[in-house]
Amino acid sequence: MARYYCHEHPEVLDHESRVVDARPGAVVLEQTPFYPGGGGQLADRGRLAWSGGEVDVVGFESIDGRLWHLLAEPVEVAGPVRASVDAAFRTMMTELHTGTHILNALVFQARS
């Protein structure tokens, strides 16, 4: 598994980056604070803001080792962007993920 920026800098929830590839409704960023999901944990939610507006990030797609941010609208994003992770959602997901590990350990111990 590739190491994402969010793995190296989990405390960063608001980050300036630049678009390195785009299509209507999706972008690849140079660096992203978003966790794209995996290992039982849901992907982050948040927003991108750029000189042309703002849009919600609603999902992710990995193609040929590149992480595409899927957008709520078919806008075309270019240039510098501010990527903002929904902090409350991230916190809830990490707490639920940790809780699931604890629950699994308790169930495993009870069955042994």
Residues 85-110, mean pLDDT to the nearest whole number:
82
Percent of the chain topping pLDDT 70: 96
> What three-state secondary structure class fits 22?
strand
Identify the pLDDT of residue 103.
Answer: 75
**pLDDT of residue 74 exceeding 70:** yes
For residues 103 and 108, give the distance between their C-alpha atoms in angstroms, rounded to a whole number: 9
Render pLDDT for 13-58 as a digit per residue (tens, 0 to 9).
999 999 999 999 999 999 999 999 887 778 999 999 999 999 999 9
Identify the pLDDT of residue 96.
Answer: 77
